[in-house]
Amino acid sequence: MTNSGILIVNKPAGLTSHDVVNRVRRATRIRRVGHAGTLDPIATGVLVVCVGQATRISEYLAGHDKTYRATIRLGSETDTYDADGQTIATREVNVSEADLRAALATFVGAIEQVPPMHSAIKRDGRKLYELARAGIEVDRPARSVTIHSIDLLDFTPPDVTLEVRCSAGTYIRSLAHDLGARLLTGAHLSALARIASGPYQLAAAVELDVFETAARDGQWQPYLSTIDQALDDWPVAVLTGADRDRAVTGGPIEALPIHGTRCRAHDEHGELIALLVYDQKKRHWRADKVLSNEH
């Protein structure tokens, strides 16, 4: 039974993503564990955890679109843009549902978003939240993100509950802050749940304590999905002979019957041996990741 794969955890509130990684590492006794897409401590929901060799494909999984259920409190602004921060301003909330819907519509589509100071983005080698904790605020360049849709689920002033589908890299805390600015009320994110990350749905996520119990019983591997399954939207090339040898040694492969610029390479037994990319300049395929069979 393999010790490598993708684990979908329903992250509890109050833990960092790194806390979850550490608990999975301790439970499985696997050193190589990472995550694909950070969740703030306040947030719950889908955390994609990569175990063993799967840590090598985290970059491909972090770029998935995300879906969130967010509760935003109008009338109260915090320094972190969420409920974990200190309140820095309060205002009266006198907003109609029509006003709210009109404001939300302005955030749908490709937008420029300024990340919060309390974030892990680096500036001159230091994380922004480290600067923020030292009382230093710096200009942050706006980043292009895409919000595909915002559905208003409930409006019971001062609280707004939304379902947001967006590109990777979108800060829902910044959305909350910017919505408050647009409505002239101020606002912060009071609760957040990630209900989907690409193909991974909250309904299929395992509770962290359930996984740890299974690990104590030596039954944690069934919760993993394979690297092949995680990348099942990549086409497959079956390699034999010299092409198989070139794939696992990083040599060039001249031609494959594949459309696109990336694919999974299987050997003749159906085992995943490498992830290949097409070099447009040199006009050949090469291994981007070589994956040995771990058991």
Q: Which amino acid is at 46?
A: V
Q: State in Å, rounded, how far the first CA of the chain is from the last one.
A: 6
40 catalytically annotated: yes
Contact, 265 vs 291, CB < 8 A?
no
Long-range CB contacts (within 8 A, 24+) of 253-258: 253/284, 253/285, 253/286, 254/283, 254/284, 254/285, 255/284, 255/285, 256/285
Count CA within 13 A, CB hemisphere, residue 275.
17
Catalytic residue among 19, 40, 178, 217: 40
Cα dihedral sign for 139, 142, 143, 149? positive
- Residues serving a catalytic function are 40
